[in-house]
Amino acid sequence: MKEPRNILITGASSGLGAALALSYAHSGVTLFLSGRNAERLEKVASDCRGRGAKVERAVVNVVDEDTMATWIEAADTSRPLDLVIANAGISAGSHKGEEETCDQIRAVFATNVDGVLNTILPILPRMRERKRGQIAIMSSLAGFRGFAESPAYCASKAAERVLGEGMRLRLKPHGVQVSVICPGFVKTPMTERNNFTMPFLMNPERAAQVIKLGLALDKGRISFPMPLAFVVWLLSFLPVGLSDVLLGIRKR
């Protein structure tokens, strides 16, 4: 969608979600922003208002199904949503030598998978009814291949990617656009915890512009940066034994 006017973004209190909110903020736009950190969320909302946008914010956790449904339905009733960006996500265990604990694995899936469902399911019937709207699901290049540092995170992002790809085909006849966003490494509070090399690390403002352009063009998959996307795509197609060897070499 080229010029969405009413936009809802989860995970908007920092990182890529905040950058996306700011990239869309201008006069004539209404933003519905959610996050768990009230202070940071209000700072983003204030900055967006400074650019001319009308902003409604909600301190809510995407794992709370009932609260999410109430918030999203109320937002859509007040201003029919043109674009919903399911951005909220968490990771765990990406430090060398650390494994994801059982509790962390469940939390990752609750936020990254259930959280996406809690974001998009309440709005889909409404968009289908009016035959208009766009859904964007924040996956990752990590969703193309499991990596030893964060297998649960990779698996959750793979679930998001495949869900979005299938829903794009299912909803296109109903006038609803669906795009899956697969970024590489973006400088955010999440990636700042990583203590390994992150090739082609991108600032969130640049990443937001790439995403915004891809959504305007209704791209089914928005993968970037291209060199890293190609490497990950290639790894996903190689025989598992060969990709295991290559990743083993990378770890040493």
Residues annotated as catalytic are 153
Please give the backbone phi and psi of residue 223, each rounded to the nearest 5 degrees, phi first: -110, 135
CB 204 within 8 A of CB 162: no
Give the residue from 170, 135, 140 showing the smallest Cα distance to 156: 140
166, 147 Cβ separation under 8 angstroms? no
Strands in 54-59's sheet, in edge-to-edge order, are: 54-59, 30-35, 6-9, 83-86, 133-138, 176-183, 221-224
Q: What are phi and psi of 14, to 5 degrees?
A: -165, 175
d(CA 31, CA 57): 8
CA angle at 108 for the pair 104 and 114, rounded to the nearest 5°: 140
**Identity at 136, one-letter amino acid code:** A
Phi then psi for residue 179, to 5 deg, are: -125, 140
